[in-house]
Amino acid sequence: MKQNPFPNPEYVDGIMKIVNKSPFPNHIAMKLLSLETDRAELEIKLNKNHLQAYGIVHGGVLATMIDTATFWAVYLRIPEDAGLVNIDLKLNYLKSVSSGKIKAVGACIRPGKTISYAEATIFDESGDRVAHGTSSLMTLPGKGLKVEVPKFLSPA
């Protein structure tokens, strides 16, 4: 799928503000750090609410980060009026973690008109891999987020 590779920085800033003020990411203290074509980074500063009974990060927190990082890695590849939904999520837990910050890095592997494919890896503060996952995402026409500036810049 060919898409404009020039996202409008003002649009990206607007999306990041929307995401970082949204109820669920705010609830779990997840912050979108960067959003680029084919790449997204997000972070959680861990606290006791992220831990399960054994004192390590709950797998659902890691799954949420993989889900979110893959979503945003694809987002700038879809049309301005469209949204996305993850239609499958596969992940592997590689290392337990219980404190500090964890960072997810998402990458779009294959953008598509209807279905896209992405991966994400979560790292702890020392750079060790904590989890890795992949996701297929479906484009939803008419479900785009509203930002007051255009999504894409015209090529120079």
pLDDT (tens, 9 = 90+) of the chain, 156 residues, equals: 455 568 999 999 999 999 999 999 999 999 999 999 999 999 999 999 999 999 999 999 999 999 999 999 999 999 989 999 999 999 999 999 999 999 999 999 999 999 999 999 999 999 999 999 999 999 999 998 889 999 888 766
pLDDT at site 152: 86
Distance in angstroms (rounded) separating the CA atoms of residues 91 and 106: 13
pLDDT for residue 6 = 81
CA 114 to CA 1: how far, in whole Å? 9
Q: What pLDDT score was predicted for residue 156? A: 61
- Parallel, antiparallel, or unpaired: how do β-strands 82-93 and 129-141 relate? antiparallel
pLDDT reported for residue 64: 98
Return the exposure string of 127-149: e unless at least 16 CB atoms fall within 10 Å of the residue's CB, then b: eeebbbbbbbbebeeeebeebee
pLDDT at 118 (0 to 100): 98
Residue 111's pLDDT is what?
97
CB crowding 65-77: b at 16 or more within 10 Å, else e: bbbbbbbbbbbbb
Measured distance CA(148)–CA(68) in Å, rounded: 23
- Token reading at 36: 């680029």
Residue 131 CA to residue 128 CA, distance in Å, equals 9
Cβ(6)–Cβ(29) below 8 Å: no
- Going by the DSSP 8-state scheme, the letter that residue 155 receives in this structure is P
The C-alpha torsion from 7 through 13 and 18 to 23, rounded to 10°, is 110
Task: Give the strand pairing for 39-45 and 101-110.
Answer: antiparallel
